[in-house]
Amino acid sequence: MLDTSVLIAHESGRRLEASSLPEEGYVSVITLAELEAGVLAAGDQTIRSRRLATLTRVSALVALPIDAAAAAHWARMRVRLAESGRRVNVNDLWIAAVARANGLAVYTRDADYGPLAELGELRVVTV
């Protein structure tokens, strides 16, 4: 599962090591929503165009939905985080839950998923 941070790296000029990415790319519908919000919130046409190009490119990937299995993983991870005194952004928690429900690791550019990896709830690959 590709995290939003990986998908926007190109638009912000950050390089990715392609060999560290999975052969098959999946995204969550949450990532599509985040990218769409980025387009709508763009401050000028140049930024809007760049973000729209990213959204268009990402729309070609398989977008996995939130289903009952993902909801169950989300609930368990949320409770485990609370019990450990840790927090994860709600969108990242949903992305993690969808990944977990589909047996996928999350590929990311940031440390937001660290608490879930530390609890053994998620495989995280930093790229």
Least confident of 9-18, 36-45, 65-74, 75-84: 9-18
> Using 50, 70 and 90 to split pLDDT, how confident is the model at 41?
very high
Q: Rounded distance, CA 60 to CA 26, Å? A: 10
CATH code of the domain in which 113 resides: 3.40.50.1010
Residue labelled with tokens 């939003």: 4
Q: Which domain holds residue 95?
A: 4-126
Q: Rounded distance, CA 113 to CA 105, Å? A: 11
Question: What is the pLDDT of the chain when averaged over all its residues?
Answer: 94
> Using 50, 70 and 90 to split pLDDT, how confident is the model at 94?
very high
Task: Please tell me the total count of domains within the chain.
Answer: 1
